[in-house]
Amino acid sequence: MIRITRRVEFSAAHFYHNPNLSAEENLRVFGKCNNPHGHGHNYALEVTIAGEPDPTTGMVLDLKELKEILQAEVIDRMDHRHLNYEVPELSGQIPTCENLAVAIWKLLLPRITQGKLDRVRVYESPDLFADCTAGNSVRGEARS
């Protein structure tokens, strides 16, 4: 089994606010990220596909095809957008990189028909990233 990974970047705005919490609680829980004017990041997305190379093409999945899928499902939806207002897949959720990784996983899963979606990694900055994988650990089950 071989894993291949494609990286793309997009830039987007967000802020963290839970309408069920008071203004003080929001500030306490989310700190600077609660600034209602929002702030932005250069996100990097790494998508890993696992599978056996096709004996004819030598490819697990044509990276050109993966690039087009990422363009349509992620870049076109999220690049230069405000994640709180313009991305329906995140509606009703706090747009953390954990939730973003889960939302991207769900968008990509039905689109990967050759090889298997193995991992979605979303970097919010070089020092912070979230991974979404196929594991079915109860402890790691996403509730959102």
Partner 1 sequence: MKVSLTRRYRFAASHRLYAPQLSEEENRRVYGKCSNPYGHGHNYFVEVTVSGAIDPETGMIANLGVLDPFVQDHVLEAFDQKYLNEQVAEFAPEKSLVPTTENVCRVIFQRLKKFSAAHLERVRIEETSNNSFEIEEGADEAA
List active site positions.
Answer: 33, 80, 124
Select from 39-47, 56-64, 66-74, 91-99 the region that touches partner 1 (CB under 8 A): 91-99
- Lay out the site mask for partner 1 across 10-49 (x = CB under 8 A, - = otherwise): ------x-x-xx-------xxx------------------
Burial label for 23, CB within 10 Å (0-12, 13-18, 19+), is: exposed
Select from 39-47, 58-66, 73-81, 135-143 the region that touches partner 1 (CB under 8 A): 135-143
- Residue 115 near residue 69 (C-beta atoms within 8 A): no
Cα 136 to Cα 20, 51, 133, 139: the distances in Å are 30, 19, 9, 9
DSSP assignment letter at 72: I
- Token duo for residue 126: 């070089």
- Nearest approach in angstroms of CB 22 to partner 1 is 13
Residues that bind partner 1 (CB under 8 A): 16, 18, 20-21, 29-31, 93-99, 101-102, 105, 126-137, 139-144
